[in-house]
Amino acid sequence: MSNSHNNEQFENAVKVMMEHVGEDAQREGLLDTPKRVRKAYEFMYGGYKEDPKEILSKALFTSSNDEMVLVKDIEFYSTCEHHLLPIIGRVHVAYIPDGKVVGLSKIPRVVNVFARRMQIQEQLTEQIADAIMDAIAPKGVAVVIQARHMCMEMRGVEKINSTTTSSALRGLFKKDEKTRSEFFSLINSPTHTRF
C-alpha cells in the first residue's frame, strides 16, 4: 500500500471524526485540518520508529565514575492510550555507572522515544528504566515520573491539576536504602540555579 494512499486514509478518518462530533469538514477553517492532524500524529508518535538501545549504545564511554548520575526535570508530552489525550510531565532519571557512562543528551532522547507512543504512565516509567538498564548495564537505575493526565482533567472526573507519580527502581536503587534515599532527596530538592 502506497504512502499517499495511507495518508489519504488517515485524513479521511479525521474528516469522519470531525463530522461525527457535529462539524462541517468542508468549512474553510477545517479544510487543511486532516493533513495537519496527520503530520502532528507522525511527529507525536515518532517513537515507534526509534530504537532506544541504538540511541544509548552510540554514546557509551568508559569511565571510572561509580557515583550517581542524575538528569532531573526532563519535560515530556505523551498520549494516554485509553483516550488519546495528552499526558504532560517531568521525568527524573538516575543511574550508577559500572565502567560505562552514557552521553547525557541520550537520556532525554530515550524518554522521548517512549513518550512519543501511546502510553500509560506506569509502563512509560518501566520502559525507560529497562532500556537504560539493558543498554548501559549500570549498578542501578531509578526513574520517577510526575505527570498530569488530560483524560482526568478534560473529561471523566475533571480533577484539574491532580498529579500522578510513578517510579521504577532497579539494582542498587531497589536494594540499598541509602542509595534510594539519596536519589529521592536529590529529585525533591528545589533547583534554584539556571545556567
pLDDT digits (tens, 9 = 90+) for 161-194: 889 999 999 999 999 999 999 999 999 988 765 5
| Annotated catalytic residue 192 | no
% helix / strand / coil in the chain, to the nearest 5? 45, 25, 30
**What is the reported pLDDT for 192?**
61
User: Which residues make up the CATH 3.30.1130.10 domain(s) of the chain?
Assistant: 52-188
The helix/strand/coil state of 121 is: helix
Q: Which CATH number fits domain 3-44: 1.10.286.10, 2.40.10.120, 1.25.40.10, 3.30.420.10?
A: 1.10.286.10
Query: Which residue among the candidates 9, 26, 42, 82 is catalytic per the annotation?
Result: 82
The SS3 call for residue 170 is strand
**What mean pLDDT do residues 106-134 have?**
98
Instruction: Tell me which CATH code domain 52-188 carries.
Output: 3.30.1130.10
Average pLDDT of the residues in 40-48 = 97
Mean pLDDT of 148-156: 89
Average pLDDT, the chain: 94
- 92 is known as an active-site residue: no
Is 20 one of the catalytic residues? no
Nearest to 125 by CA among 138, 142, 140, 139: 142
Higher pLDDT, 78 or 158: 78
Delimit the CATH 1.10.286.10 region(s) of the chain: 3-44
Check residue 180 and report its DSSP letter.
Answer: H
What are the beta bridge partners of residue 74? 91
Q: Average of pLDDT values for 77-93?
A: 97
Beta carbons of 144 and 91 less than 8 angstroms apart:
yes
CA–CA separation, 41 and 111 (whole Å):
18
Write down the catalytic residue from 23, 80, 146, 153: 80
Global pTM reads 0.92
